[in-house]
C-alpha cells in the first residue's frame, strides 16, 4: 500500500555527504560464498571514504578488494517518511596497511557497539554516493 501524500526526492551530493559525516550505524553489503550478506556496522565517513572497525571474519574476508555497497538511513514510521544514502565502491582491508590514508583512517574514533576486539579495519573508497528521501507532500 502506498501513501498517496508522499513523494520521492533525490538527495543532492552535498547533503548525502553531510548525512554520512554524522557517523554511527550503517549496513555493509558484500557477497560471501556466492550469497549476498548484509552486516550492521559502526562507521565514520571522511574525505569520500567509509571507515569500519570490525573483527576478522566473513565481512572482512568478503569485503577485501571487492565491490561493496554501504547504506545509512533514518525512518519515521509514524509519518511514513525517511531517507537513505548508499555508497558504492571498492573495499580494502587496511588493518596492516602502511600507507598514509590507511593510517589516518585507523586513527578515526570509530566507536563500536558490539563486543569484541575490533582490531581489523575496512576502508571503502566511494565510486558513487546517492540518496533519496520519502517526503510528505
Going from N- to C-terminal start, the domains of the chain cover 7-132
pLDDT in tens, 2-32: 556 788 899 999 999 999 999 899 999 999 9
Q: Check: CB of residue 110 under 8 Å from CB of residue 52.
A: yes
pLDDT (0 to 100) of residue 15: 96
**DSSP-derived 3-state class of residue 47:** coil
Rounded to 5 degrees, what angle do the CA atoms 29, 59, 95 make? 120
pLDDT (0 to 100) of residue 3: 54
pLDDT in tens, 29-49: 999 999 999 999 999 999 899
CA distance 98 to 79: 47
Spacing of C-alpha 32 from chain mean position: 17
Q: Which CATH entry fits the domain spanning 7-132: 1.10.287.130, 3.30.1300.10, 2.30.110.10, 1.10.3720.10? A: 2.30.110.10
Residue 71 pLDDT level (bands cut at 50, 70, 90): very high
Prediction pTM value: 0.90
Amino acid at each position: 500500500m502506498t501513501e498517496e501524500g508522499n513523494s520521492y526526492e533525490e538527495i543532492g551530493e552535498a547533503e548525502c555527504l553531510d548525512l554520512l559525516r554524522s557517523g554511527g550505524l550503517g549496513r555493509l553489503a558484500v557477497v560471501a560464498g556466492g550469497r549476498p550478506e548484509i552486516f550492521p556496522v559502526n562507521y565514520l565517513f571522511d574525505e569520500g571514504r567509509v571507515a569500519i572497525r570490525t573483527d576478522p571474519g566473513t565481512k572482512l574476508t568478503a569485503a577485501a578488494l571487492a565491490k561493496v555497497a554501504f547504506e545509512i538511513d533514518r525512518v519515521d514510521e509514524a509519518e511514513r517518511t525517511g531517507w537513505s544514502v548508499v555508497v558504492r565502491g571498492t573495499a580494502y582491508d587496511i588493518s596492516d596497511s602502511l600507507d598514509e590514508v590507511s593510517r589516518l583512517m585507523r586513527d578515526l574514533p570509530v566507536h563500536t557497539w558490539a563486543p569484541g576486539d575490533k582490531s581489523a579495519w575496512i576502508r571503502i573508497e566511494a565510486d558513487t554516493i546517492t540518496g533519496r528521501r520519502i517526503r510528505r507532500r
